Amino acid sequence: MENSRALELIAYVDGGSLGNPGSSGVGIVIEGSESGKITIGKWIGRQDNNVAEYVALLEALQCALSLKAQSLHVYSDSQVVVRQMTGQYNCRSARLYSLNWVCRKLSRSIEFTISYIPRENNAEANSLAGAAAQRQTSPQLLLSEEEH
């Protein structure tokens, strides 16, 4: 059965590390899916903050593609990621280059846009990332309150 409507998703993404580098987590909140809001919190090991921000974006892109979404608009509080993804900054960091490349490649498979938002407007994704960084366990999916 095909989707009767085009799936247009909005994602709020954040990555963070306790120390830079340090124990890191990502938080993703996706709105607009047929099953309701999706929340993801994953511990991603010892990384720096920019790597964590890119991994959060990668998770959102992979989720949107797995849901066969037509479009994805991402809100991120990482100016580095937003400016690199929009072409305002070139990605010169060897550490970030492969993550940037994969995210750009995946973003071409979908109607993709990304915008910067201040951290205070990204509280839920920030909270998920912070909780995941503190857990230091294997990656797992956190279910939102509506899903319990």
Helix (H) or strand (E) holding 106: helix 94-107
Please calculate the CA angle 94-96-100 and round it to the nearest 5 degrees.
120
Task: Look at residue 142 and tell me if it is in a domain.
Answer: no
Task: Look at residue 145 and tell me if it is in a domain.
Answer: no
Task: Look at residue 148 and tell me if it is in a domain.
Answer: no
At 19-57, the pLDDT tens digits run: 989 999 999 999 999 999 999 999 999 999 999 999 999
Task: Indicate whether 139 pLDDT > 60.
Answer: no
Per the structure, the count of domains in the chain is: 1
Task: Look at residue 2 and tell me if it is in a domain.
Answer: no
Question: What is the per-residue pLDDT for 137?
Answer: 54
Task: Indicate whether 13 pLDDT > 80.
Answer: yes
Could you tell me if 63 and 38 are in contact, meaning their C-beta atoms sit under 8 angstroms apart?
A: yes
Arithmetic mean of pLDDT over the chain:
91
Task: Look at residue 147 and tell me if it is in a domain.
Answer: no
Task: Indicate whether 4 pLDDT > 60.
Answer: no
Task: Look at residue 117 and tell me if it is in a domain.
Answer: yes
Task: Indicate whether 89 pLDDT > 50.
Answer: yes
> Is 62 buried (19+), middle (13-18) or exposed (0-12) by CB count in 10 A?
middle
Question: What is the per-residue pLDDT for 6?
Answer: 86
Residue 70 sits in which domain range?
8-136
**pTM (two decimals):** 0.89
**How many angstroms separate the Cα of 52 from the Cα of each of 71, 121, 131, 146?**
23, 18, 13, 26
Task: Look at residue 111 and tell me if it is in a domain.
Answer: yes
Question: What is the per-residue pLDDT for 125?
Answer: 98
Query: CATH number for the domain including 123?
Result: 3.30.420.10
Task: Indicate whether 81 pLDDT > 70.
Answer: yes
Question: What is the per-residue pLDDT for 45?
Answer: 95
